[in-house]
Structure 1
């Protein structure tokens, strides 16, 4: 990234989404230091990168909360937890719903009813739902549990009972398969690592090497999220 190669507003927004609105991850994707990225943005847009990200993420959160649960929105937009999301949006402490929603007790969403109302014996038929949920929640069991309205322990128990698999091992598998598919589509390993939620390229490479040594790349394609 250089001053002779400008980035359009649309490209900046795309980079922000890919980097989960985190300056560090955005810099990793751009292949520059955080300081260089912030300076370049300031020169081009005449505004602080962090201030711009705050506004962009705030607008995205308000939009997503119209149709999605707070825990899912927090995971998608890179907030540490629901409390951080509520604090950023200054929502009432008693709940996470934006004021535009209807008054009265909140009814569970259709997605929650599908998951919480289904007996465990039905869950294996909806493995694609598990995969989509895992990807939306950054492949984190804690966020998945919050989205479904259950504890992590309950989630692990029900998943194991329904599929015969360990939730942790399954998440590692689908996470790496997601990264694998990104690289097959032309993404660099650094970009795939960030999108798959790894803290660094090194941690991704270690996990990737262990997975390949176990023959993970030969697993069923039906397990790719």
Structure 2
């Protein structure tokens, strides 16, 4: 969180259950600001794991009641819809409040509303549908996150492999042209950053040949 905007102890405490990310909407966060219609600052938003905006607070937080303010919009939508008999809207909000926002008055209200309405078949059908939609969304979001993480890891491995090979090729070129110092620097970079790689083994051999003292990487003890 922005230390200049949200420095209060009660704000820090209220935000502990959340994964908080501070984004500069005028720099690296331009796409995020555009997606969620952010045109004034500061802006605090709570998103679900699927990226749907659940609520937002524009400007600095009020002097008190910050923790209760976070789920206010969801609670308000639930209560208004429940009173009007709009079970689809009330159930959708209730599912969120009963899953998260533990310890808030909004969560307590959601539990009370659920107890009052769970015997109603129309409400229960709407609630079960909303809950399934949320669970399916969470499963999909998790699958996508795992896929993205794996893709990033593969890209990192490919990039590092290229960097190692480029350094080794550069070292060979320096060595060929008798630029001993530059060649040694390249081999040392490879050995320092990727000591267990095949390129590092070759680099250590080259360094030893040029009289540079190097240590072999420590091996983990064999399991007993």
Bin for the TM-score computed over the shorter chain: under 0.3
> Quick check: which has more Rg, 1 or 2?
2
If each structure's helix is expressed as a fraction of its own residues, which one has the higher value?
1
The structure, 1 or 2, with the larger RCO (C-alpha pairs under 8 Å, 6+ apart) is 1
If each structure's strand is expressed as a fraction of its own residues, which one has the higher value?
2
